Amino acid sequence: MHHDTERCVRAVRSKDARFDGWFFTAVRTTGIYCRPSCPAVPPKPANMTFYPSAAACQQAGFRACKRCRPDTSPGSPEWNARADAVARAMRLIGDGVVDREGVPGLAARLGYSTRQLERQLRAELGAGPLALARAQRAQTARVLIETTALPMAEIAFAAGFASVRTFNDTVREVFALAPGELRARAARRAGSPSAATGSGTPGAITLRLPYRAPLNPDNLFGHLAATAVPGVEEWRDGAYRRTLDLPYGHGIVALAPRPDHIACKLHLTDARDLTIAISRARWLLDLDADPAAVDEQLRTDPLLRPLVDKAPGRRVPRTVDAAEFAVRAVLGQQVSTAAARTHAARLVTAHGEPVEDPEGGLTRLFPGPAALAGLDPEALALPRSRRTTLTTLVAALADGTVRLGVDSDWDEARARLSALPGFGPWTVEVVAMRALGDPDAFLPTDLGVRRAAKSLGLPSGPAALTAHAAAWRPWRAYAVQYLWATGDHPINFLPHDEKVPA
């Protein structure tokens, strides 16, 4: 979009927050870059230059605006809607892969040489993987500086910097302030509603996760709470809480909907996991989606339009771990939500690693493929065919035959899942929708979808409904959320009780 100068200028002049993250405005006369919705007086068009990423702005010598804080804007929705190499690379960079494995590790995951990957990222984003990762490290450092009392040296290494000197230089260059000055400004701003604030819980990091409005929290949090696995997830005090298995340790995240952001509180055993914990929380809640584009497309169907107009901004509830969701999808085949939770809870109790929750309530991590590799199928209270499906899936995930994650090729993942016994179209598509993040995944055989279709006057047969839904592409996964919302299942309602009943 940054090439469409006229459109960008209109967005800046109208301070349209819908375009935050789509592009960044660099002002040549001041040397700063802003988000489109910056509240400052818009500069003259002749002084504006538009870039596709914060990293490109920084490479061009611009520093972040202190007023609109463009580094905190939602991510580009393009990376949600695409599965090409650039989109997968951006999702991996967001997961901190460059900090942990370097650019060669990033390229290897995608099956490209480092030169090919560098060329593709520069062509589309104006910056290479190192610059993109550096911009992310700067943002992580800012969060830690402003929301914790950690010493600056610890923050430097937690954010992924190789040295304290590099950390200091980068923070000064990107924000035009020394790390100590950033912390002092945050302290002075503590009473401001726009400031990230500390929490009363020792060791907790509290921050705000931005999103593009509107966001309807009902089905998003309702789905997560209604399917919560005891010990791993819970709904408490207006927040969804769950344990996280992270590269350097484990964590616990609490997410609560607010009118203009998601309140996020993190407990981490290792601060180096902050970047990936934030990335997974955003992915879980689909916060980088573009609801305006989604709802505009779905409104073109006169039978869907009333649903969209009634409750716009529905998101697709995802997962923090694709392999975990695939296992839970198998456990949920042809059983009720309560039964699926019970089966998952038994797996967690038998194989999940214990964790300590500073606030109580959560006790274990969901077991990964390696922990489930020695699973005794006879110990599972499942039909024999379901046991075979589960053990085959776990083996395929453990040995890499099936790879599920933010870097997965959607078509390849579907093909490999379909080759496993017991994986029919419903299971494959629900994994594609909620684990892989394909916005066009569709469930024409789902009972809730078929009931909704019939009540709305849509074709209820799978083939006929699929043909009709071609007009909803590439947002059929969001159409499923609107169709599900016509029912009275608990997944459609924001919970108000302290905890979801067992």
DSSP secondary structure string for all residues of 174-188: HHSS-HHHHHHHHHH
3-state secondary structure of 336: coil
Percent of the chain with pLDDT over 90: 64
Catalytic residue among 286, 295, 440, 446: 446
pLDDT value of residue 310: 95
Q: What is the mean pLDDT of residues 302-328?
A: 96
Task: Tell me if 353 sits within 8 A of 243, measured CB to CB.
Answer: no
d(CA 264, CA 244): 14
Q: What is the mean pLDDT of residues 469-479?
A: 96
pLDDT value of residue 420: 96
> Given a cut of 70, is residue 501 above it in pLDDT?
no
* Catalytic residue check, 295: no
Task: Tell me if 453 sits within 8 A of 460, measured CB to CB.
Answer: yes
User: What is this structure's pTM?
Assistant: 0.87
pLDDT bucket at 196, cuts 50 / 70 / 90: very low
> Given a cut of 60, is residue 202 above it in pLDDT?
no
Locus of tokens 């901004």: 313
More confident residue, 95 or 358: 358
> Given a cut of 80, is residue 351 above it in pLDDT?
yes
Q: What is the mean pLDDT of residues 343-364?
A: 94
pLDDT bucket at 198, cuts 50 / 70 / 90: very low
Catalytic residue among 8, 20, 34, 71: 34
Indicate the range of 74-83, 174-183, 227-236, 483-492 predicted with least confidence.
Answer: 74-83
Q: What is the mean pLDDT of residues 14-29?
A: 89
> Given a cut of 90, is residue 82 above it in pLDDT?
no
Q: ∠ CA 267-268-269 to the nearest 5 degrees?
A: 130
The pLDDT tens digits for 119-176 are: 999 988 889 999 999 998 998 898 889 878 889 998 998 888 989 999 999 999 988 8
Locus of tokens 């390849």: 412
Task: Tell me if 103 sits within 8 A of 117, measured CB to CB.
Answer: yes
Q: What is the mean pLDDT of residues 445-455?
A: 94
**Sheet (strand 48-51) strand order:** 48-51, 24-27, 32-34, 63-64
Chain CA centroid to CA 128, Å: 22
pLDDT value of residue 334: 84
The pLDDT tens digits for 36-67 are: 999 999 999 999 999 988 889 998 999 999 88
Q: What is the mean pLDDT of residues 293-321?
A: 96
Q: ∠ CA 277-278-280 to the nearest 5 degrees?
A: 65
Query: Can you state the angle between helices 476-484 and 447-456, rounded to 10 degrees?
Result: 80
Percent of the chain with pLDDT over 70: 96
pLDDT bucket at 453, cuts 50 / 70 / 90: very high
d(CA 83, CA 409): 6
3-state secondary structure of 311: coil
Phi-psi category of residue 237: left, alpha or beta, with phi > 0 → left and psi -120 to 50 → alpha? left
**Could you tell me the two tokens for 30?**
């001041």
3-state secondary structure of 167: helix
pLDDT value of residue 190: 64
Radius of gyration of the chain (CA): 23
d(CA 22, CA 166): 28
More confident residue, 192 or 69: 69
Indicate the range of 63-67, 410-414, 454-458 predicted with least confidence.
Answer: 63-67
pLDDT value of residue 346: 92
Helices within 26-96 (DSSP H only): 54-59, 78-81, 85-94
d(CA 339, CA 333): 10
Signed CA dihedral, 82, 331, 223, 445: sign only: positive
d(CA 405, CA 496): 32
What does the mean pLDDT of the chain come to? Answer: 90
* Catalytic residue check, 264: no
Q: Which of 401, 252, 261 is nearest to 323 (CA)?
A: 401
Q: What is the mean pLDDT of residues 237-251?
A: 96
**Amino acid type, 298:** L
Relative to beta strand 204-209, strand 262-268 is antiparallel
d(CA 172, CA 167): 9
Query: Can you give the three-state secondary structure of 420-480, one letter per residue?
Result: CCCCCHHHHHHHHHHCCCCCCCCCCCCHHHHHHHHHHCCCCCHHHHHHHHHHHCCCHHHHH
Domains of the chain, first to last: 5-67 (3.40.10.10), 78-147+149-188 (1.10.10.60), 288-492 (1.10.340.30)
The pLDDT tens digits for 87-132 are: 899 889 888 899 889 999 999 999 899 999 999 999 888 899 999 9
Q: What is the mean pLDDT of residues 301-318?
A: 96
**Phi and psi at residue 143, in whole multiples of 5°?**
-60, -45
pLDDT bucket at 374, cuts 50 / 70 / 90: confident
pLDDT value of residue 1: 64
